[in-house]
Amino acid sequence: MKYNHLKHITSAFITLAIVLFAHSAWAKGKKIRVVTSTPDLAAITMAIGGEHVEVTSLARHTEDPHYVDPRPSHIVKLNKADLLVVNGLELEVGWLPGLVVQARNKNIQAGAQGYLDASSVVKLLQVPTQAIDRSQGDIHPGGNPHFTYDPRRALNIAAAVEKKLAALDPDHKKDYAKNNESFSSDLGTVIKTYEDKFAKLSSEQKQVVTYHASTIYISDWLGLKEVMQVEPKPGIAPNPKHIATVLTAMRKQNVHLIFQESFYPKKASQKLAQLAKGDLVVIPGGTNVSDGQTYIKRIKTMADAIYKAASK
């Protein structure tokens, strides 16, 4: 009796295993577990994956994506991930590779099907023509990695995410295509709206100083002219000599706007804005996905804040 019972259970298990194995990797209701390095990438992936994905961003929107504190929970998330979406171009070089090693998940290694490097699908800016000497501290040695600030480049990323999700989960291919169509159409409207708005500003109004070179893709999109950065080089803290040079340039060229992300120190920028009789605008450094913010809302918030100060 006992034996038969056991046999029954065993055969049920075998049947179940066959059913699970024979069905696609994504059984009905099972979500694709996606981990992204930054919240912008998470928000874009959520827009495309919709109900079929469960997305976690390792970096918070309040954290500088160059320097994220590795946490044990990151390793757990990476260990269980079906897909890892990274920004690439060395943005995460200081913290992500070690986490991926510790996570021991072969599906999300570089080159595996569950791996997507966003920097491979966008047109990059500030790619050096000759090798940069790392000893100088420049943290953008291969080009500028902050391209998710530009919604036009987000369209490229969305297309790559759609392709990747469709490959991992062909049963929902149509849904991913539909989601991307609607995301791209909405984002396209936003892109055009702000381009038109900023085009009406004078060339003087469009001159800006920013803290970190993260802003170059915003400026590329909205036609802003970046006169200088408060940081002498990406990743190098401002010093009095450099601040004096920035102030001279701001006064000479009539620059009245400085903008920077919330996670960078504000003291030098505040001083410069005050001395140059301008404004310091703090923009979000990423989508606030933990509060349900969408990528589109994040872009609008950022562009509105810059426009408000620039159009004064």
Site string for Zn ion, 234-273 (x = CB under 5 A): x---------------------------------------
Note whether 281 and 306 are within 8 A (CB).
yes
Give the CA distances from residue 192 to residues 125, 132, 189, 310, in Å, rounded to whole numbers and listed in that order.
Answer: 21, 36, 5, 18
Residue 215 has what DSSP assignment? G
Task: Please choose, out of 42-50, 54-62, 211-219, 261-269, the segment that lies near Zn ion by the rule CB under 5 A.
Answer: 211-219
For Zn ion, the closer of residues 214 and 269 by Cβ is 214
Task: Please choose, out of 153-161, 178-186, 230-238, 272-280, the segment that lies near Zn ion by the rule CB under 5 A.
Answer: 230-238
For Zn ion, the closer of residues 164 and 298 by Cβ is 298
Give the CA distances from residue 257 to residues 37, 151, 207, 281, in Å, rounded to whole numbers and listed in that order.
Answer: 30, 22, 7, 7
Q: At its nearest, how many Å lie between Zn ion and the CB of residue 90?
A: 9
Task: Please choose, out of 110-118, 129-137, 176-184, 228-236, the segment that lies near Zn ion by the rule CB under 5 A.
Answer: 228-236
Task: Please choose, out of 208-216, 247-255, 269-277, 294-302, the segment that lies near Zn ion by the rule CB under 5 A.
Answer: 208-216
Q: At its nearest, how many Å lie between Zn ion and the CB of residue 14?
A: 53
Q: At its nearest, how many Å lie between Zn ion and the CB of residue 271?
A: 22
For Zn ion, the closer of residues 138 and 279 by Cβ is 138
Q: Which residue has the tokens 């759609």?
A: 162
Q: At its nearest, how many Å lie between Zn ion and the CB of residue 139?
A: 6
Q: At its nearest, how many Å lie between Zn ion and the CB of residue 117?
A: 17
Task: Please choose, out of 18-26, 189-197, 206-214, 221-229, the segment that lies near Zn ion by the rule CB under 5 A.
Answer: 206-214
For Zn ion, the closer of residues 175 and 261 by Cβ is 261
Q: At its nearest, how many Å lie between Zn ion and the CB of residue 274?
A: 25
Angstrom distance (rounded) from CA 186 to CA 279: 31
For Zn ion, the closer of residues 232 and 234 by Cβ is 234
For Zn ion, the closer of residues 126 and 288 by Cβ is 126
| C-alpha 298, offset from chain centre | 11
Give the CA distances from residue 221 to residues 5, 127, 144, in Å, rounded to whole numbers and listed in that order.
Answer: 68, 17, 14
Q: For the range 230-237, what are the long-range contacts, defined as Cβ-Cβ under 8 Å and sequence gap of 24 or more?
A: 230/258, 230/260, 230/268, 230/269, 230/272, 233/136, 233/137, 233/138, 234/138, 234/139, 234/140, 235/66, 235/137, 235/138, 235/139, 235/140, 236/137, 236/138, 237/265
| C-alpha 268, offset from chain centre | 26
Applying CB under 5 A, the residues found at the interface with Zn ion are: 214, 234
